Amino acid sequence: MVAAIVHQLTRNLSMEEIEKSGFDKYYVDHTLGIWPQEGFPLTHSTYDNILRLVKDCSDVYAPIKFLREREIVHFQRFGEANREDCSKDRISLSYF
């Protein structure tokens, strides 16, 4: 989603504009499409940093805020599922 937003914001930039803005250091050009190079998943702190950068652009701020909130909920739910799974293992081991 973040790559799609970056693509929408930069799709009409020329290669010279991309290089001048510094995107060439962090992104690879694929026929005017901008894609993250690293491939690391974003965390809620990454979303916080993006939100600070785009606070004056509501069209970008709102979807990034949604993605951040979704990331937090996923983290909580996966944590709950992991804790439940671990507690089942402890219960089954107690019978031995």
* pLDDT score, position 15: 77
Does the pLDDT value for residue 29 go beyond 80?
no
Measure the CA–CA gap between 95 and 61, rounded to whole angstroms: 52
pLDDT top residue among 43 and 78:
78
- Give the side-chain half-sphere CA count within 13 A for 58: 0
Q: What confidence category does residue 63 fall into, taking pLDDT thresholds of 50, 70 and 90?
A: very high
